[in-house]
Structure 1
Amino acid sequence: MASDALTRAAHAHAAHSPADETPLRLLALDIDGTLTNSAKQIMPFTRKEIARVVETGVHPVIVTARAIDASLIIERKLGVPTSHIAFGGGSVRLREGGRLTVLEEHPFDSSAVELMLDAVQGSDVHVGLYTATEWHVSDMGFWGLREARNTSIWPDTVGDGTRPRAPADPVLKLMFRGDREALAPIKAVIDRELPSVFAHLSARVLEVTTSRKHVALRSLSERLGIAPREVIAFGDTEADAPMLEEAGVGVLMGNADPALQIAPHVERTLSNDEEGVGLSLRKHFPTEAPFEI
């Protein structure tokens, strides 16, 4: 795993050296901790810079672990049409004008969903299951309200706090919320029993997806005829690191965990509360427009 990461990082660094003047043609944006600030809002300068860059012909894509409905809300707030990589790479959708086409979807096997739901049995953990069109939660206590507040999405079904049943439609993401001590054993079961999936544990959230952001972005880029060296990507967590390392220009937010290990060629910018995305876009896409924050 470590050697793969080093190989990927070295390839990306070689593909976009300081002397390389290859134009950047695709803008990949993580949402939480990156595009949105601590209040879950897009800051004004960042919004204007993204719109300016898109007007030059750069193709924007929102790359998130959120559900597609929540990603579409961010697109509306952003004010520019975007492609979408949702569910951490589980769904890839291409925006062409007013049309949004599903390129790929990678749901879990039903047996994998049942295994993960069994793993939370008897623990004080909030469970969320996401299909392409619905969000199901084990209860609407603190964690359900928190996620609704973060995403502006209200769940389709609410359970009674017991082990939830898997929905009829294929599941694209599972989210578990609670104390880290309760989540860590669940992640251990997933890592051991389902090695092909990605379980990302951060603070008090465990998100499980079938794919990875960088894999999905690679697929979308290939569809658009865009090389990795022509991509600028922004992110803030371990889940974003491979995407940043593969991009021609990868940018890590200033609010990222200082302990996060990432390739040295990945740039660092200011935090999501300091217009970090907007400032880096101004750096890489110079303009004579007034600099006003």
Structure 2
Amino acid sequence: MASDALSRAAHHGAAPSPRPTTPLRLLALDIDGTLIDSAKQIMPFTQQEVARVAATGVHPVIVTARAINASLIIERKLGVAASHIAFGGGTVHVRTGSGLTVLEEHPFERSDVALMLDAANGADVHIGVYTATEWHVSDLGFWGLREARNTSIWPDSVGDGSPLRAPADAVFKLMFRGLPEALAPIKETIDRELPGAFAHLSARVLEVTTSRKHGALRALSDHLGIAPHEVIAFGDTEADVPMLEAAGVGVLMGNADPALRVAPHVERTLSNDEEGVGLSLRKHFPTDAPFRI
């Protein structure tokens, strides 16, 4: 409930941040746990507010660990043209009119993909391997179906029971799903052998990418001629924290883990099930339009 989110904010000692003295020109939106609710839908008021803010000339960018094709589905549902930072920063696409231009791509080395797959060999985990355009899975059991439902993407190939191998095309993300005790040793190996990779473990999901969101967002904003203090960014997990802390206005969702620590200047809003993004946009981009929620 809203009162719960406010109580969590009070518990963390959060205080209202002053409005920036310069206009905000770039809107960065994480997807899961932020832009979409727990039913994987964009709430009506949030959709309305994003569209309203974009219509003023603010540049929206969807920032996600999802694949670019899954990010594009969210853009269509949102109904607002946006740039895209996908694979947790592994690719950066700039929206120019009706088209997208690739600004940066950071795939894994093929040997690194093989190392990670070998680390998972024999473990009771589901494995997903993502190229720029394809998704390869070890099996279509519970976890494969769960991810397909979450992202509206169907896998391009399904394993035959033998160890999954790296595809021919460049890989931008690996995802392992299973119990924490099965995922932890895989993460330990990746952290030890591939210190340049970002392995994010949360609950029963381990996502591994080559890059971080905040670095990709800085590259995009530099390309657009937008300074960091002109950025407003929303997120809900450890993977989002550097992006929120680097933005002129960083906003942590009310559904974030209460143990997650962020810099004092990062604001807190309501949860993704309570129109947290939309309400903060109304706060930072005032309007005389009626408030209906």
Matched residues in 2 for 1:90 and 1:161: separation?
29
How do 1:211-250 and structure 2 match up within 5 A? 211-250=211-250
- How many Å apart are 1:63 and its aligned residue? 0.1
- Give the TM-score, by structure 2 length: 0.93
Distance 1:190 1:18, change over 3 A: same
The answer as to whether partners of 2:20 and 2:248 remain within 8 angstroms in 1 is no
- How many Å apart are 1:99 and its aligned residue? 1.2
Give 2:109's aligned residue.
109
Matched residues in 1 for 2:163 and 2:256: separation?
33
The answer as to whether partners of 2:65 and 2:87 remain within 8 angstroms in 1 is yes
Give 1:289's aligned residue.
289
Give 2:163's aligned residue.
163
- How many Å apart are 1:22 and its aligned residue? 0.5
What is the identity, as a one-letter code, of the residue corresponding to 1:194?
L
Distance 1:269 1:182, change over 3 A: same
Give 1:8's aligned residue.
none
User: Any gaps of 5 or more consecutive residues in structure 2?
Assistant: 1-16
Matched residues in 1 for 2:147 and 2:291: separation?
35
Give 1:74's aligned residue.
74
- How many Å apart are 1:117 and its aligned residue? 0.4
- How many Å apart are 1:132 and its aligned residue? 0.3
- How many Å apart are 1:212 and its aligned residue? 0.2
Give 1:62's aligned residue.
62
The answer as to whether partners of 2:20 and 2:249 remain within 8 angstroms in 1 is no
Deviations 1:236-279 (A, max 9, x none): 00000000000000000000000001111100000000000000
Matched residues in 2 for 1:96 and 1:166: separation?
33
Matched residues in 2 for 1:236 and 1:162: separation?
36
Matched residues in 1 for 2:178 and 2:45: separation?
35
Give 1:14's aligned residue.
none
The answer as to whether partners of 2:198 and 2:208 remain within 8 angstroms in 1 is yes
- How many Å apart are 1:160 and its aligned residue? 2.3
- How many Å apart are 1:20 and its aligned residue? 4.2
Count residues in correspondence: 277
Matched residues in 2 for 1:292 and 1:19: separation?
23
Q: Identity, % of aligned pairs?
A: 81
- Give the TM-score, by structure 1 length: 0.93
- 1:120 paired to 2:123: no
User: Any gaps of 5 or more consecutive residues in structure 1?
Assistant: 1-16
Matched residues in 2 for 1:190 and 1:203: separation?
17
Deviations 1:46-65 (A, max 9, x none): 00000000000000000000
Distance 1:146 1:232, change over 3 A: same
Distance 1:153 1:20, change over 3 A: closer
The answer as to whether partners of 2:19 and 2:284 remain within 8 angstroms in 1 is no
- How many Å apart are 1:21 and its aligned residue? 1.1
4+ aligned runs moved over 2 Å, structure 1: 17-20
What is the identity, as a one-letter code, of the residue corresponding to 1:277?
V
Deviations 1:98-154 (A, max 9, x none): 110001110000110000000011110100000001000000000000000000000
Give 2:141's aligned residue.
141
Matched residues in 2 for 1:100 and 1:229: separation?
25
Give 1:254's aligned residue.
254
